[in-house]
Amino acid sequence: MASVPRRRTAAGRLAVVGLGERPRRLVRRLADLGTDRPVGLFLPLPAQRDRRTGERRTRRGLDDLVRLIREDRVDGVIVALPPEAEFLLPGCLEHLRASPVDLWVLPAAGDGAALLEVARRPLAGWQTLVKACFDRTVALGLLLLLAPLMLLIAVGIRLDSPGPALFRQARGGRGGVPFEILKFRTMRVMGDAAPLPAVPDDRRVTRLGRLLRRTSLDELPQLLNVLRGEMSLVGPRPHAVTHDRLYARLLPGYAARYRVRPGITGLAQCEGLRGEPTSLAAMAARLRRDLAYVESWSLGLDLRILLRTLRLPLGDPRAY
C-alpha cells in the first residue's frame, strides 16, 4: 500500500478522492495509523442529481469535499484513481487547486507507489495564526491612526457627487469564496448597471475620485476587510468575480492564487503590475508573481512587500 505523507498537516485531517477498493483500503490504513484522522472517501466528480426529483444520486462528491475544506475541516487530500478513471485526474486536480490544502496523487500503477505531491498549503499551523494576528493588529492600528483622514475623505466624496461614500463589489476570496470588497467611491453613481473598469480620461471618475485613485487612498476601507478576515494586508489582489471566471478559463493554474487570502497590496503590485491588466499577457505576468508569493510565503516577505509598497510613488499614471 502507498506510504502515508511524512509531512504532517496541522491537524492531520486527510480526505481521499477515488473509485474502487484501493482508496477504501487507503482510508482504512489512515484510520489504523491513529495519527491521521481520515475525513472519508469522496467520488472524483461533482455530486450528481436526479433530473426529475433534484435529489442527489451520489452523497459525497467533489463539491462536498470543497465545502468541507472551506469550513476548515480538511487539511490534505489524496487523489487515488484506478487506471480506467485516470482521464478524470486533470479535472479533479483543477477542481481542488484553488483549495488551501495539501494535495497528493497516488499513481495508478501499483499499490506500493509513493504519493506525488501536487500542491502544498502556503500557510499551516502556527503560520496561519502569525499572519492573521499580524494582519489584524496592523489593520486595527492603521484604522485608528487614519480614522480622521478616512472621515474627511468620506465627507468629501458625499459633497463631490451624489451617492454613498463606499463602493462595494463581489471579489474572489480565499478558496474561491466571493466576498464584498470595500473601497471609497471614485465614480459617479450610474444606476443599477454593472460598473465597467475605468479607462484613461474616464468621465465617470469624479474630481476627488481621480486624486484618490492616483494616491491609492481609495483602498483604505479594505482595512475593514482585513479585520473581518476576508483579506490580508499582503496577497494576490482580488479581481471581480466575472474577471476571475474569464481568466480561470484562459490561464492554466489561475485558481491556485485562491490558496491564500487576497491582499491590499502584493508582490505583483510592488513590481509595477498595478491597475487594470491591458492584455492577457499582462495578466499572465501578474499571475506569475502571485503564484511566486503563494509558494514562498513568509512573514519576512510580507514585511518587505509592505515596505516596498510604502516607497511606491504616489502619482501612479496607470491609476486612472
pLDDT tens-place string over residues 26-68: 888 887 766 556 778 898 877 665 555 555 555 688 888 988 8
Amino acid at 210: R
The correct answer on CATH 3.40.50.720 for the domain covering 13-119 is yes
Does the pLDDT value for residue 207 go beyond 50? yes
Does the pLDDT value for residue 88 go beyond 80? yes
Where along the chain do its domains lie? 13-119, 126-310
**207, 156 in Cβ contact below 8 A?**
no
Average pLDDT, the chain: 83
**236, 293 in Cβ contact below 8 A?**
yes
Instruction: Please tell me the pTM assigned to this model.
Output: 0.80
Residue carrying C-alpha cell 501499483: 110
Neighbouring C-alpha atoms within 13 Å toward the C-beta of 57: 9
**173, 258 in Cβ contact below 8 A?**
yes
Rounded to whole angstroms, the Cα distance separating 42 from 216 reads 45
Mean pLDDT for the stretch of residues 76-95: 89
DSSP label at 36?
S
Instruction: Note the pLDDT tens digit of each residue in 231-281.
Output: 999 999 999 898 898 998 899 888 888 889 999 999 998 888 877 777 889
Mean pLDDT for the stretch of residues 123-149: 91
Residues in contact with 204: Cβ distance below 8 Å, sequence separation at least 6, in sequence order: 187, 188, 190, 198
SS3 117: strand
294-299 LR contacts (CB < 8 Å, sep 24+): 294/122, 294/236, 294/256, 294/257, 294/259, 294/260, 295/122, 297/122, 297/123, 297/127, 297/131, 297/260, 299/130, 299/131, 299/134
pLDDT at 140: 97
pLDDT at 11: 45
Does the pLDDT value for residue 24 go beyond 60? yes
DSSP label at 273?
-
Mean pLDDT for the stretch of residues 57-83: 84
Does the pLDDT value for residue 309 go beyond 50? yes
